[in-house]
Amino acid sequence: MALETLKDVKEIDGFNVLNIDQLAKENPEQWDAENRRFDWDWFKANVYPKSNYIVVDDAKNTITFKIQNGPIKENGVNGCQVDTMIHTPLRMIEELDKMYPCKENSSCLYHLSAALRALADRKKDREKRGVEGLNKE
């Protein structure tokens, strides 16, 4: 049920949300339907470079994130940040709360939002010190 809350979501935190079934329809020659997977070398070379770092597989009820490897200023964007991972359940709980509102959902939304605010404050501090995007304290 929770993954269904992302059914029509095309992006989260500026990153594309890629649906495996849609990609399989568009690239049947790269898709192994029996094992529900793509040729990995093809996927790495053709899917990740297009900023497809969030992958949803409805049939398996899974969501996968490719995480940033190294500082952006040193390595470029090659994955999503932990912030994106927090934005994802935030959106899911917001949608669930529309259907089934309760105080626990509200509390969860508050705390997820607080985590995002803390990360934003950290980033501002790092920018102010000139170390944002670098492997420095």
Mean pLDDT over the full length of the chain: 92
pLDDT recorded at residue 3: 84
Q: What is the pLDDT of residues 53-84, one digit of tens each?
A: 999 998 889 999 999 999 888 889 999 999 99
**Number of structural domains found in the chain:** 1
Q: Does pLDDT of 48 surpass 90?
A: no
Q: Would 134 be classed as within a structural domain?
A: no
Q: Does pLDDT of 133 surpass 70?
A: yes
Q: Would 129 be classed as within a structural domain?
A: no
Nearest to 84 by CA among 96, 71, 67: 67
* Residues 122 and 116: beta-carbon distance below 8 Å: no
Nearest to 52 by CA among 63, 60, 61: 63
Report residue 86 CA to chain centroid gap: 8
Q: Would 57 be classed as within a structural domain?
A: yes
Q: Which two tokens stand for residue 93?
A: 């709980």
Q: What is the pLDDT of residues 4-14, one digit of tens each?
A: 888 889 999 99
Q: Would 38 be classed as within a structural domain?
A: yes
d(CA 27, CA 31): 7
The domain of 100 spans: 3-121
Helix (H, G, I), strand (E, B) or coil at 47: coil
Q: What is the pLDDT of residues 26-45, one digit of tens each?
A: 999 999 999 999 999 999 99
Q: What is the pLDDT of residues 78-95, one digit of tens each?
A: 999 999 999 999 999 999
Strand pairing class (54-57; 15-19)? parallel
- The model carries a pTM of 0.85
Q: Would 28 be classed as within a structural domain?
A: yes
Q: Does pLDDT of 1 surpass 70?
A: no
